[in-house]
Amino acid sequence: MSHSLCLERLNRLLRVLDRLGGSATIRDLERGHGIWWWEVEQAEELGWIRVFTRKGSVGRPAEVIEKLNKTPSAKYPLPRHMIPREIKWSHQRFAMISVTPIAKNNRFGFGLPSMTTAYLMTYPKCRSRNAAAVGASRLMKRLDVRLMRHWLFAEINKKLSGPMPLNVPGLIEQLDSIGAIRYVRRS
């Protein structure tokens, strides 16, 4: 899973560094403040902080993060609401299972599973088929699930290749380029 640093997380990192006197070790930030290494790396790439290794007289070296005070060339990341969300793994799994042929007792010997069966395969703790039918119906109304199914069908028909984008804008862009979708309600 790839993460993107948002403006709110950057501001939080900078506030924590201010509170700690302008510098701290990555270990202190992770354990005491819930700031992770990927956030530090992306903040460094944007030019807000500097990371260096400090070697003490004893013990192992420490990765130290230092806030840069005068940063005219530093760039701001996007606010959280502008970063597209990644599609949940369970929704991805439901979309993949619903378009994957399974063995069936018909003249062809295979076929697509029903939406209820795909839901039960995705969520094995579901208690009844009726509840699974309701859940599958609810999932099929989601834009991300419908777009993933379109993308998978286009991949099966060899209209698309390469890795599948795991967010709605990426799916819309690729499907629109091949004409696989005509209208998408963007909500």
Count of helices and strands (H, E) across the chain:
8, 5
Percent of the chain with pLDDT over 90: 53
CA 177/CA 187 separation, integer angstroms:
20
pLDDT at 185: 59
* pLDDT exceeds cutoff 70 at 34: yes
**Contact at 8 Å (CB) between 155 and 161?**
yes
Residue 2, pLDDT score = 65
List, for residues 17-27, the tens digit of each pLDDT value. 999 999 999 99
Task: Specify the pLDDT at position 141.
Answer: 94
Residue 183 — pLDDT band, cuts 50, 70, 90? low
Domain spanning 7-82 has what CATH number? 1.10.10
Would you list the domain boundaries of the chain?
Answer: 7-82, 89-178
pLDDT tens digits for range 85-142: 889 999 999 999 999 887 777 677 777 888 999 999 999 999 999 999 999 999 999 9
Residue 3: the pLDDT is: 78
Kindly report, residue by residue over 61-75, the tens digit of the pLDDT: 889 999 987 767 788
pLDDT, averaged across the chain: 88
pLDDT at 174 over 70: yes
Better pLDDT: 79 or 102: 79
Residue 106 near residue 131, CB atoms below 8 Å: no
Distances from the Cα of 98 to the Cαs of 92, 108, 147, in angstroms? Answer: 10, 18, 13
